[in-house]
Each structure stands twice: as structure tokens, then as C-alpha cells.
Amino acid sequence: MTRPVLEIEGLRVAYGDGADVLRGVDLTIAPGETYGLVGESGCGKSTVAYAVQRYLGGGGRITGGRIAVDGTDIGSASEAELRRLRGRRMAMVHQNPATALNPAMRIGRQLAETPRLRSGEGGADPTGAILEVLRRVRFQHPEQILRRWPHQLSGGQLQRVVIAMALLARPSLLLLDEPTTGLDATVEGEVASLVREIAEQSGGMAILYISHNLGLIARVADRIGVMYAGQIVEEGTARQVLKTPAHPYARALLASLPGNPSIPPGERLRTIPGLVPRPEDLAPGCAFAPRCYAMRRGLCDRPIPLAMTPAPDGGGHVAQCLRLGDVPQPPVEAAPVMPRARDGGRVVDVTDLSRSFTTRPVFGGRASQVVAANKVSFAIGKGDILSLVGESGSGKSTIARILTGLDVADSGTAMALGTDIARRPAETRTRELITAIRIVFQNPDNTLNPAHRIGRILRRALRRGGRAGSAEEVAALIGAVRLPPDAADRRPGALSGGQKQRVAIARAFAGRADLIIADEPVSALDVSVQAAVVELLRDIQVQHGSAILFVSHDLELVRHISDQVVVLYRGTVVEQGSTAQVFGLPRHPYTEMLLAAVHPPDPDHVAPDLPVCDETAATDMPGLCPFLPRCHRRLPACATTPPPRRVPAEGHAILCHHAPADLMQMLPTVTKG
Amino acid sequence: MTAGANRTAKPARTGLLARLRGSRLLRSRSATVGLAILIFWLVVAIGAPWIAPYDPTAIDFAASADPSPSAAHWLGTDVLGRDLLSRIIFGARTTFLVIPLSVFSAFLVGAVAGMAGAWYGGWTDTILARAGDVMLAFPALVLYIILITTFGPSLWNIVIAVTLTYAPGVARLMRGQVLAVKGLEYVLAARAAGESPIYIMAAEILPNVGTPLIVDLCLRTGYAVILVGTLGFLGLGLPPPTPDWGGMVVEGVNLMTIYPHIALLPAAAVTSVVVACNLLADGFRETAR
Amino acid sequence: MARIVLNRLGQFAVILLIASFLLFAVTEFSPGNVASKILGPYALESQVRALSDRLGLDDPLLIRYLRWLGMLVGLVPNELGGPATGLGLSDPRGAQYFGNFGFSLMQGRPILDVLADRFGHTVTLTVWAIGLTVPISLCLGVLAGMTQGSLLDRIISVATVSLTSLPEFVVAVLLIFVFAASLGWLPGTSPLDPGDRWSVASQLVLPVAVLVIASSAYVTRIVRSSVVDTLAQPFVRTARLKGLAPMRVALLHVLRNAMIAPVTVILLQINWILTGVVVVEAIFAYPGIGRLMLEAALFGDIYLIQALTLIALSVAVTTQFLGDLAYVLLDPRIRVA
């Protein structure tokens, strides 16, 4: 057997005087292998990547163990040796590409720095090699990219540039730390398939791919390590870990995904209670025990060191669990989803809603028009959940803001409680309207005022909703969202992300709440927490008989909870219908592309092969299909006439030149090599 | 590293008053020293008539022959034979009257203008920003010289002059702070709940823009001390015989070779107040982190 | 690019016009009639009347402002000179020429002549001050920022914080005390008289030193914090993890970005130095336009005040414009929209 590219043994890392955040990590990656490291945020995944490069910063230091890259010991290497290793043996791709490049240096020059390290300043012109690598990361016109500044590229393009920069080092170890987090799902899928392609063509390059997204990991990894609280708790091939997970943590993580095939749409999602503990708050014995459904008292809480033991299916599949071989499947949530009250009445009726923004650069320059909503029509029935889906910039949030009164439409109507609210900002709405339509925002860190205690926030919301806001009412509200009673005295800074979103939900339901607008309410949360918040939202919805407008880019979640789906592309509704209709066939080419980007945590899943599109420009002529520049099914008519609205079935509409029958065929797929 | 924020510790105190009351600020050494110096001078200023050994304008002809420190005059006298210690003590009164008034007025005008511009945007914002640009175009001292020579040196004219020069800077800072917070979800939530702009400003925005403004307040107070001292030094301060530290320095400059204490002691007094303000600003900056 | 520059240029021209109008309004509207200020306190009512009529002092303010501007650019004659007013003021250039600021009442001669005597001295002073401030503060700021937390950084930080707390006049007094009064190495005043026993160069040392000390402490702090902020940026991490040599990271990645903010500050600092110039010239009896401004203000020489403040205003607005321009040039995110 050849020597592994990366060998980590018993790695321990601490920051400052704190407890170890990595508590004995063992990990090896062979040449040509892609290793996926998964786990919730706060488990120490990124710390592993930085420790490998000995770049911990912020008072971080290796307190134990050994790291070797290509046989060179990282811990004892001199600064100069380390620099040579960084430039040639290993390269890293970071999470946020927008800040990873020097804003004051052209792309071409930044890319040239790495090959120049090898050849020296006076060496051969590296442009040829750079262009070749840019082509490899799927740029159609690499010459143009060289002259661009970083701010002129999109997030997906930037991340491909960063990957190209890493490849130029011709490393034997490539580290990718959440390389697609924050990018649109379609772009995310593109980057993942690119990483897969690179892995296959590289001939011996080892890859460490860090992600919290099990679907992405399934797509790229040969072997997977599951991390929890600073340790790898399970390791095996991608198939072993994802298909027959051994550790309760891995099982619970997989079960909490909304796309989990064992949970039919509409049923309850499974959750993992609690949070990843901080290094100094670890339970004695198994660190996962306090959150574990299979925890056995007297066994799991004994303060003895745990070791990796072979899983029942063998073949190098190991896990760190005292009940290994005896772990039950995660329990199904006891309470069934309650039926919702629906009487055919409509809570809100949106017709031809339009909104566009004029943006003007700060320092002068040409103004440009951005269409956020273009004659959007839909209706939400009482007690229904309608989802708005689409990539960033599709206008989802603008519609949500217009309905809440934070923005006003240019034209069109939105009828609610017998009045048109499309052009009524919140300041001019009646109290009845305001308490009838409430909003839950995306970012848990900003959704609550850090200066106020939870009790004050809820009291104010209750009073605005026409109630007294007594301590009992506040306590009842806190209980309803399953927060501890003492939460009223805390400030938002003392709560976790999931807890903050619960408070936001409580605030929204402080009044009558006919319609809750949930603008990406869980997209910033870990899947385990996400499931709990979604279930809470649904329970309270049923109790109040409210309808929900669910704004999301997570199609699996949308499929799981919605009754109706509206697909938006650059402000235009390209498809709408019931959940079954939109997720079934026929489907709009854009819906098709969105669905193709969804990847279940299954290494055997074959992803449809969608053509890559570099440019995401809008169509010049108004009225034409907005999706035309990116469409893989375009017809000659698309460039000349506006697309017709086709109705394949009652309540289902598709905006496309193709006849519904033509949209029945599936995309060709690629098989994983 | 970023393990859940489920801290069991007691709730964080973020309110401005709470922060002042709490010990966090005083845990910073620079803030403690700065605060101590300011409190010292404040006590001196308030108690001046009781603390000062002499009337600051009383002339001791005997002492004027030799202004050096003596048993009768601990810090010596100025050229006219007025007790230097008493003049410095009463000078604190002038400083602690002019500076707080001017800085308070500048912050009131600037903060209101900045909040209004950021909140209403559009024309309100453009006009306020342009007006600020015009005021900032004047070099500060030049503006004072024009204003004070045309309208005469008086307490209120100094206050107006400081307000005119500092308010645009405060407004800019405030505007940026409010803009940063204005788009955050909790402010949007308050708007969507139909809260009035006044409530949103006071309860949702102000508590979260405090720290940079407090830091700026301390720094600007320091500059104001420098500026008022400089005005006094240039003969544009409060009309004599009001004791004014800047004016006292200029009276002593010519005798620098023989009696350096006449200029150096009031200079040290001015400097100590500026240092205190800067230390306090540093303290607030540390606490915010 | 050209569009952005023209746009900004237009904005600053408007600011300059409005500011100069305010300036004019304040000086003309000050208590007391302009004519009686010109004629002095013992003038007869009829004399004041006649001069007011002749100069059109009863016209609306805007008309008077436009006339003042017109006079300045040589479109409108200055009625104050010549035998007709009986003030004994005369200008060999005539009544109508470009740059006609009118007469200094204090010195009884054309302002352009007064400026000619003084202007060069102030230019010398500021050029030396800026020429020394920029390299000193750049070096110290970059050194401190790059070695953040080191002993050197702490020394520089403590020194700059202390120095920014010192008013210019205090710095001046201290320097005079040490180098002139105690040691006797340098002169305590700088009247630049030809027959002085001190050379012109030695007379310049202390005034320049005061300006440099006061402003370089401030600029050093700005440079340092900009360097520290840039070092914390993720792209610096990228550059380091690419295996680039520390020197290359420092020069190409850190400094290039860290200089964007300080350049603007340095240009605005010129404005600050102008303020310091007034103080320094007053203390050292230096014959520049700063002291002239103070003298004019104390004398009530309104035309001279108008002229000098207009000059100061123009310099200030120009440096603000240059600061903006530098920002646009240095930051590609603004330059290439």
C-alpha cells in the first residue's frame, strides 16, 4: 500500500487557555482519495483543516498528536518548510469566496502568483498553464477572466477561480472547507460535480472535503468521517456511513433531513434535541450521550475513554459508540401531524403584483433596472402552506416584504381581509391587518434586538396584538414555543440560533396571525435544529388555523411541508401548482434544473447532467422568457415571442414554449465513476 | 470554536446605562484613569469658590515682582500677581462649562440630523448630507475665526461655533450607524408590527448604535478642549478676566525663559483633560469588544 | 471613470460656491455697517452714506456676492480704490483684473500685494510639514501594524496616543521651553527677518516640528489601524496559505489594500495642518498667512478676512476632492463599476 498523503494521529487543538476543541482526531487520506468530513457547526471540522496547515491563529495551538503531509511532520516543520508545503503540497479553498481574493489585484495576477512560486519571478510565462486550469474549472472564456477584478465575478465564478488557484499549486492534498455554503443550490451542485471531476482526473491528489451538507458529501466523497464535539465518531466508505450508519449521531443526522425517504411528505421530521456542547461543557463519557436517543444510563455516562470499534457490517467501517451493534433506529416522533382547518376561503389573493428597483452605483455610472416581481399572481387558502421557491435574486423576499408592508408594489393587487395591501406600507395599516399578517425572518442573529430581554420583546408583541401582555401571557407564549421558562429574563445573546427563531415564531403568533410569512426561517440553522423549528412552526400553525407563506430555496423541505408551490425566476412565475404537480412531471426547465441540483445523501444517486452556464444575464427584450439565457431546452421561438402559459392540469401552470408533453422527458444523467 | 451560544451565564448587559453602572467599563484600566481625572476636575470646578485659596482676579502686587511658587502662592502667580493655583481652579469652571455645553449641542444637532437622514433617505438625506459637506469644507479654526471675530467672543458664540463644526461629523457617524442597523431584521420586524418611527428610533435603534457614538463623544470632547484652549491661546476665547487655561498659557509664553511655570502649568491642565477623554474613549472601545 | 471624476468635480464646485456664499454673508452681515467698518469709528454719517451708495452696500446680498465674485475674476471694477473715495487707496494694476481681492484696510494696500509678501512663507512651512509627516507616519504606522502586539507596536501606540492628546500650542510651548528657553539651541520666535542672528533654516525647525509632531501622531494611528484591519482579512490568509513569502504578502496584498483609507486621511490632514499653521504662526510670530488671518480678524479687516478664508476654503475643498479622487483611483471596486 502506498503512503497516505495525509496522516493525522490523536490530534488535539486548543484556543487560548480553553479546553481542547479537537480531542484526539485520527484521520488518513490515501492518494487519489476524497475524504468527506461532516458534522454540525461547532464540531471542529474547520479546525482540522487549519491545523493541517498549522495556521490556527487567534491563540490556537496543537496540544497533542501528530500531523504528516506527504510524510513531512507539520508540527516540527520550520516556517520556511511550511511555506514550501503550503505552496506545493497542499492548497486550500475557503468558505466565502467573496473575501478570499485580494480586491485590489486582477484575477490573472493573483492566479500567476502560485506558478511563479515554482518557477521564480523570471521563469516561464505561466499564462498558458493558468488558462488551461481555468478551462478545467469550466470557464468558457478564460482569457476574459484574467483581466477581471474579483468584485466583477459572481460567487460561483469566484469559487471556481479559488479552486483554480488551488489547483495551480498542483498539490498532493487539496483542502475544501464548506466551499459551496452560501451559494445557490444550482451553483453548489456545479461546484460539487467539478470537485468530483477534478478528483477523478487529478491522478493521485487527495482531497479533504468539509461540509455540513450530507447530500454534497454523498456526491463527492469516497470515505466519510462524522465529527462530533472534536472527535470523529464514525468512519467508513461513503456507502457504509450513508446507507448503514452505525453511530446514533450519524443515524439521527440522516433521519432529520427533510428528504429522508423513510418519512413521507407531510409527516413529522425527526429532530436531535439540544446543541453541540462547548468544549468546556462536555459530558463525562460519551459526548453525544445527552442528546442521544439510544443513551443508556450507567453505560454511556460512565467517565471512561471511548475507542473506535468495528461496525457490524465490517469492511473498515468503525464507530465510537458503547452500544455499537445494539443501536436501534431513531424513533419516529410520537405525535402525528394534526389535520389543518381549511374551508376553501382565501387569506390573501395576489394578482399581477409587480415591483422593480433602480440601482445606481454610488460613485455615478449608469442606472440599471432589476425586476423583483413581474405580474406575480397566487392565492393562499386558509390553513394552507404555500411555498415560494427560486434562487437568490428571484424576488421571493420582495414579495414577502410587500405582503408585510415593508415595501410597496409598483402595480397589481394583494387582497387580504377585504382590503388591497399591495401599496400599503405597515405604517399605514390598521392594527387588525398588522396582527393578521406577521413575518418570521431568516437570520436568527438579527431577528431579535440584542438590547432587549425576551420577555420585553414578547410583551411588546402581545400588546401590539391587542392583548395585555401580562407575565402569564408571556410565559404561555414562551411555553408554546417550547423554550425554558427562564428565557424571558435572557437577552438574545444568551440564546442559540434555534432558540432565537423560536422566539421569533412566538412573536409572530402573539396576535391572531391569519398568515405567517416565513422568509427562509431555518436556512441558517443546522439540519438537526431546522427540523425542530419547522415542526414547531407547523404545530402552532395548526393551533391558530393560520396559513403560511414559506419562502425557501430548500426544495426538499418545501416538498415536505407545502400544499402549493410557486417557482420564481427573476421575478416571473415560471411554474405554479400543487406540490405534487410541481415536483412531478411535466415541469418547467427551470424547475427541472432546481430539482436536478437536489442531491440526497445517497452515494448511488445519479445526478442529471445539466450544461454549465457562465453568464446569468437577463434577457434584453421585455416579455421574453427570463430563463432563456440559462435554458438547456431553448427553442427558436423563445428568442422572438413571449412564452405562453400552459395548463397541463387544473391548478398547474407552466410558462414555456414547450408543450407539456415535451416537458415529460427526463434529463440524461451521468453515472458516477 | 463557535459552539452553541447556549451560555448559562447571567444575561449579558448591553444597555448603555447598564454598562456604565456595571463594572465592565471600570475593568478597563484606561477608562478608570480617564474617569478619575475627569471626576477630579469636575469636583474642582464645582467646588472652586471653596477650594481656591484666592480670588482668581485679585492682584497681589508684592508677588508680581517674583511670580515663582512660594508659601503664600503654592504654584506661584502670573505676571500680574494673580494666584496661579486659584486661576487654574477657576479655569476648570470655564472649561467644564463651555465644553459640555458645546459638545452636547453638537451631538444633539448631529445625532438628530444623522438619524433623520438615514431614516427618511431620499431628499431629506441628500440635503442634510450636502449641508454637512459644506460645513465640513471650512477648516475648523478658520470657521471659528470668522464667527468669533464677527459676532464677538462669548460663551454662546463658542457653543454655536463648536456645534457648527462638530455636528456634521456626528451626523455622518450617526447616519452610517443607523443605516447599518436600519436594515436588520429586528428593525424590520418592528416596522412590520406597525411601530412608530419615534419608538423604533428610541427603543430599537439607539440602544444598538451607542458604543461608536460614545467613543466619538469622548474623542470629540477631547478635541473640543484642545480647540477651546487654542481659541483662548489665540486671544479669541472668553473675554478677560475670566480665567481660561488657553489664555493663561499665552500670557506665560513670553516669560518662558524666566518663569516657565506660568505657561506650563495651565498647559498641563488642558493636556490632562484631553488625555482623560482619550483614555475614556479607549476604555469604551475595549468594553465594546 | 472620467464620468465619476467630472461628477465629483461638479459636486465640489457647488460646495465651494455655497460655502463661499456663506462666508461672504457672515462677514458682510456682522454687526455694524460695512462702510463704517471701512471708514473707522469716527466717520461722519454722511461719509458712511456716500461710501455705501458708491459700493452698492444697500443692494441685496446675492447681488453683492455676485459683484464680489465678478470683482475677483476681473469682470467688475473695484470701486474702493482711486481718489474718488478719498481713502487714499490705489492699485497700480487698475480697478479690474483677475485675482482682485480688493484692499487690506489694515495695511492700506491691495490684498494681492499683501498676499505676495506672506504666501510663500506659509507654503514653505506646510510643504516641509507635509513632506516630513507623510513618510514618518507611513513608516511608523506600517511597522506598528505589521508587528501588532510587539514591544515596538506598543511603544509607537503609546507615543502616538499621548501626542494626539497634546494641543498644538502645548507642543509649541514645550518645544520652546526645552530647545529655546532651556538649551538655547534654537530661536523661540521665527520672524524671518533678514538681519536676525538666527539663520532662516534654524527659525523653521521648531514651527515645522510642531506641525509634524501633531499631525504625524494622528496619521500614524490611522495607518496602523488600517494595516491591522487588512491583516485580518481572509484574502491575506489566502495569500499566506498559498505559500507566498511574507515580504510579498506584506507588500502586494496587505499594503496595497491598507493604503486606501490612509491616503484619504492624509489628504484631509492637509486641511488640519492649515489649522495648525494659524496656531504655529501666531506663537512663533511667523510672517505667513495664518498669522495674517488672525491679525485681520482682530483688526476687523473684512476684505482681507474674506480673501484669506476663501483661500483656505479653496485649499480645503480641493484636498477633499483629491482625497475622493485618490480613493476612486486606488479602489478598483469603485473605479470599475
Instruction: Print the SS3 string covering chain C.
Output: CHHHHHHHHHHHHHHHHHHHHHHHHHHHHCCCCHHHHHHCCCCCHHHHHHHHHHHCCCCCHHHHHHHHHHHHHCCCCCCCCCHHHCCCCCCCCCCCCCCCCCEECCCCEEHHHHHHHHHHHHHHHHHHHHHHHHHHHHHHHHHHHHCCCCHHHHHHHHHHHHHHCCCHHHHHHHHHHHHHHHCCCCCCCCCCCCCCCCCHHHHHHHHHHHHHHHHHHHHHHHHHHHHHHHHCCHHHHHHHHCCCCHHHHHHHHHHHHHCHHHHHHHHHHHHHHHHHHHHHHHHHCCCCHHHHHHHHHHHCCHHHHHHHHHHHHHHHHHHHHHHHHHHHHHCHHHHCC
Give the DSSP per-residue string, A210-222.
Answer: E-S-HHHHHHH-S
From residue A170, give the alpha-carbon distance in Å to each of A30, A91, A166, B154, C28: 16, 8, 7, 74, 74
Shortest Cα distance, chain A CAs vs residue B222, angstroms = 29
- Give A-chain residues touching B5 at CB under 8 angstroms: 493-497
Q: Is there a contact between C333 and A96 if contact means CB atoms under 8 Å apart?
A: no
d(CA C255, CA C223): 10
Q: Is the pLDDT of residue A210 over 90?
A: yes
d(CA B288, CA B13): 11
Cα B122 to chain centroid, rounded: 32
d(CA B214, CA B210): 6
Shortest Cα distance, chain B CAs vs residue A277, angstroms = 6
Q: Is the pLDDT of residue A656 over 50?
A: yes
Of residues A67 and B52, more confidently modeled: A67
Partner residue opposite B5 with nearest CB, options A406, A443, A493 = A493
From residue A280, give the alpha-carbon distance in Å to each of A23, A233, A291, A358, B7: 12, 19, 17, 51, 11
Shortest Cα distance, chain A CAs vs residue B248, angstroms = 46
Whether B121 has its CB under 8 Å from any CB of chain A: the answer is no
Location of C-alpha cell 509627516: C133
Q: Is there a contact between A464 and B7 if contact means CB atoms under 8 Å apart?
A: no
User: Under DSSP, is residue B74 helix (H, G, I), strand (E, B) or coil?
Assistant: coil
**Amino acid at site B87:** R
The count of C-alpha atoms lying within 13 angstroms of the C-alpha of A504, restricted to the half-sphere facing its C-beta, is 37
d(CA C4, CA C227): 28
Please name the residues in contact with B275: beta carbons below 8 A apart, sequence gap of 6 or more. Answer: B34, B37, C162, C165
With contact defined as beta carbons under 8 Å apart, do A511 and A464 qualify?
Answer: yes
With contact defined as beta carbons under 8 Å apart, do A376 and A409 qualify?
Answer: no
Cα A15 to chain centroid, rounded: 28
Please name the residues in contact with A217: beta carbons below 8 A apart, sequence gap of 6 or more. Answer: A36, A38, A209, A211, A224, A238, A601
* Residue A386 confidence (pLDDT): 94
Give C35-87 pLDDT, tens digit per residue.
777 777 777 777 777 777 777 777 788 888 898 888 888 888 877 776 666 67
With contact defined as beta carbons under 8 Å apart, do A512 and A436 qualify?
Answer: yes
* Mean pLDDT to the nearest integer, A489-507: 88
d(CA A311, CA A246): 6
Question: What region, left, alpha or beta, does residue C300 occupy, with left being phi > 0 and alpha being psi -120 to 50 degrees?
Answer: left
Residue B161's Cβ-count burial label (10 Å; 0-12, 13-18, 19+) is buried
Rg of the Cα atoms in chain C = 25
Give A393-403 pLDDT, tens digit per residue.
788 889 999 99
From residue C202, give the alpha-carbon distance in Å to each of A309, C131, C138, C206: 84, 17, 26, 8
Suggest the residue from B10, B17, B125, B186 to mutate for an interface test with chain A (most A CBs closer than 10 A).
B186
Give A561-578 pLDDT, tens digit per residue.
889 999 999 889 999 999
Shortest CA distance to A565 belongs to which of A354, A317, A305, A380?
A380
From residue B277, give the alpha-carbon distance in Å to each of A345, B140, B209: 65, 20, 20
Give the DSSP per-residue string, A527-581.
Answer: HHHHHHHHHHHHHHHHHHT-EEEEEES-HHHHHHH-SEEEEEETTEEEEEEEHHH
Suggest the residue from A363, A366, A368 to mutate for an interface test with chain C (most C CBs closer than 10 A).
A363
Query: How many other CB atoms are found less than 10 A from the CB of residue A610?
Result: 20
Question: What region, left, alpha or beta, does residue A172 occupy, with left being phi > 0 and alpha being psi -120 to 50 degrees?
Answer: alpha
* Residue A28 confidence (pLDDT): 92
Please name the residues in contact with C38: beta carbons below 8 A apart, sequence gap of 6 or more. Answer: C51, C80, C87, C105, C302
Give C172-198 pLDDT, tens digit per residue.
888 988 888 888 888 878 887 777 778
* Structure confidence at residue C30 as a pLDDT band (50, 70, 90): low
* Structure confidence at residue A365 as a pLDDT band (50, 70, 90): low
Q: Which residues of C62-75 are buried (b: 16+ CB within 10 A; e: fewer)?
A: eebbbbbbebbebe
With contact defined as beta carbons under 8 Å apart, do A34 and A220 qualify?
Answer: yes
Lateral strand order in the sheet of A20-29 = A20-29, A6-15, A60-69, A72-73
* Structure confidence at residue A556 as a pLDDT band (50, 70, 90): confident
Q: Is there a contact between B151 and C31 if contact means CB atoms under 8 Å apart?
A: yes
Q: Nearest 5 degrees, angle CA A88-CA A209-CA A62? A: 70
With contact defined as beta carbons under 8 Å apart, do A37 and A22 qualify?
Answer: no
d(CA B262, CA B75): 9
* Structure confidence at residue A360 as a pLDDT band (50, 70, 90): low
- Give C-chain residues touching B225 at CB under 8 angstroms: 167
- DSSP tag of A265: T
* Structure confidence at residue A667 as a pLDDT band (50, 70, 90): low
Q: Is there a contact between A451 and B15 if contact means CB atoms under 8 Å apart?
A: yes
Residue C113's Cβ-count burial label (10 Å; 0-12, 13-18, 19+) is middle
Shortest CA distance to A70 belongs to which of A206, A231, A274?
A206
Instruction: Say which range, A446-450, A480-484, A531-535, B56-60, has the weakest mean pLDDT.
Output: B56-60
Q: Is there a contact between C313 and B138 if contact means CB atoms under 8 Å apart?
A: yes
Query: How many other CB atoms are found less than 10 A from the CB of residue A111?
Result: 28
Q: Is the pLDDT of residue A440 over 80?
A: yes
d(CA C228, CA C215): 20
* Mean pLDDT to the nearest integer, A610-619: 53
Of residues A439 and B247, more confidently modeled: A439
Q: Is the pLDDT of residue A615 over 60?
A: no
Instruction: Say which range, A654-663, C95-104, C267-276, C294-303, has the weakest mean pLDDT.
Output: C267-276
d(CA A388, CA A175): 35
* Mean pLDDT to the nearest integer, A612-622: 54
Partner residue opposite A47 with nearest CB, options B1, B7, B203 = B1
User: Under DSSP, is residue A481 helix (H, G, I), strand (E, B) or coil?
Assistant: coil
Partner residue opposite B192 with nearest CB, options A426, A431, A448 = A426
Q: Is there a contact between A496 and B5 if contact means CB atoms under 8 Å apart?
A: yes
User: Under DSSP, is residue A75 helix (H, G, I), strand (E, B) or coil?
Assistant: coil
Please give the grid coordinates belonging to residue C180.
529655546
Residue A8's Cβ-count burial label (10 Å; 0-12, 13-18, 19+) is buried
- Give C-chain residues touching A365 at CB under 8 angstroms: 3-4, 337
Q: Is there a contact between C278 and B264 if contact means CB atoms under 8 Å apart?
A: no
Please name the residues in contact with B123: beta carbons below 8 A apart, sequence gap of 6 or more. Answer: none
Per-residue pLDDT of chain B (289 residues; tens, 9 = 90+): 333 333 333 334 445 555 555 556 666 778 888 889 999 999 988 888 888 787 877 777 777 777 777 777 777 777 777 888 888 888 888 888 888 999 999 999 999 999 999 888 888 888 888 888 888 878 778 888 888 777 777 888 888 888 988 898 899 889 888 888 888 889 998 988 888 888 998 888 888 887 788 888 888 888 888 888 888 888 887 776 677 888 888 888 777 778 888 888 888 888 899 989 888 888 887 776 5
Q: What is the pTM of this model?
A: 0.82
d(CA A65, CA A7): 11
d(CA C254, CA C260): 11
Please give the grid coordinates belonging to residue A346.
382565501
With contact defined as beta carbons under 8 Å apart, do C115 and C128 qualify?
Answer: no
Q: Is there a contact between A105 and C252 if contact means CB atoms under 8 Å apart?
A: yes
Please give the grid coordinates belonging to residue A34.
476524497
Cα B213 to chain centroid, rounded: 12
Q: Cα(first)–Cα(last) distance of chain A, in Å?
A: 22
Please give the grid coordinates belonging to residue A76.
516540527
Query: Phi/psi at A349 (nearest 5 deg)?
Result: -130, 105
- Give B-chain residues touching A48 at CB under 8 angstroms: none
Query: How many other CB atoms are found less than 10 A from the CB of residue A423?
Result: 15
* Structure confidence at residue A208 as a pLDDT band (50, 70, 90): very high
